[in-house]
Chains A and B, each alone.
Chain A
């Protein structure tokens, strides 16, 4: 069961109509290391990972959905009421032909989201290292996205999301330590 909360995790403000930037942000929406892939990856891994780590995967997976909503909000605000001419100039003609201004799960090149992005090896270490790599790749993507805009309000929200990847990466590495130590059986209370 999931509960939706009618608020963003972090404020999203954009200071100009900028469909070009919206197109680039799609990388974190429906891209290989995007928020949708992250959410689905972590929530799916829960069913085969040792019990000690399930809570972490649940909570980080859920937070990724909050990030997904932030990215959607950015794309929504950057393209809301953009003219067809502006969409064309932003390289969004193909997108517009199919989707109008609807937000669509694709990467910044327009490649539709695929579950092939989501690894599930069933081995706790393999899966957790996959997660750590995904977080570091997402952090890097956020850096390049911050480089690609001069909108300080947008940069502000992107910096928040970038920092979250760093925290998630640390938590997953702690999970690796927990798996290695087998605290379940060895911990003395």
Chain B
């Protein structure tokens, strides 16, 4: 799990028939902490930049599909 992922623990009620998902997550990308991009941030090489979708490592937000296995207790 990368450091841009936030975790929270929802209330589990007695009347919810779906197997509860005890841990939920969401992503907070780095753009949320930058109001105005500073000058001279380190850069990716052009090939890397294309692959990552940005020229600047400081703005890169990884995303890996985890939701499939995140489901309720019986499917974990």
- A-side residues, CB < 8 A to B, are 10, 139, 142-144, 146-147, 149, 155, 159-164, 166-167, 169-170, 173-174, 177
CA distance A108 to B37 in the complex (A): 35
CA distance A142 to B31 in the complex (A): 17
Cβ-closest chain B residue relative to A169:
B31
Cβ-closest chain B residue relative to A181:
B36
Q: Decide: B59 and A143 in contact? CB cutoff 8 A.
A: no
CA distance A166 to B59 in the complex (A): 8
Chain A binding site: helix, strand, loop or mixed by DSSP? Answer: helix
- What would be 17 A-B contacts, judged by CB atoms less than 8 Å apart? A139-B29, A143-B27, A147-B66, A149-B65, A159-B53, A161-B53, A162-B63, A163-B53, A163-B54, A163-B60, A163-B61, A169-B29, A170-B31, A170-B34, A173-B31, A173-B35, A173-B36
CA distance A144 to B26 in the complex (A): 11
Contacts of A143 in B (CB 8 A): 27, 63
Report A187 CB to chain B, min CB distance, Å.
14
Indicate which residue in B59, B63, B65 contacts A167 across the interface (CB closer than 8 Å): B59
Contacts of B53 in A (CB 8 A): 10, 159-164, 167
Inter-chain pairs besides A166-B31, A174-B37, 17 sampled, C-beta below 8 Å: A10-B53, A146-B63, A147-B68, A155-B65, A159-B63, A160-B50, A160-B51, A163-B53, A163-B61, A166-B54, A166-B59, A166-B61, A167-B59, A170-B37, A173-B31, A174-B35, A174-B36
CA distance A42 to B58 in the complex (A): 26
Number of A-B contacts (CB under 8 A): 55
Contacts of B59 in A (CB 8 A): 166-167, 170
Report B56 CB to chain A, min CB distance, Å.
9
CA distance A174 to B37 in the complex (A): 8
Contacts of A164 in B (CB 8 A): 53-54
Q: Decide: B35 and A177 in contact? CB cutoff 8 A.
A: yes
- Over the window 22-43 of chain B, the binary record of Cβ atoms lying under 8 Å from chain A Cβ atoms (1 yes, 0 no) is 0000010111001111000000
CA distance A149 to B65 in the complex (A): 9
Contacts of A155 in B (CB 8 A): 65
CA distance A174 to B29 in the complex (A): 16
Contacts of B36 in A (CB 8 A): 173-174, 177
Cβ-closest chain B residue relative to A155:
B65
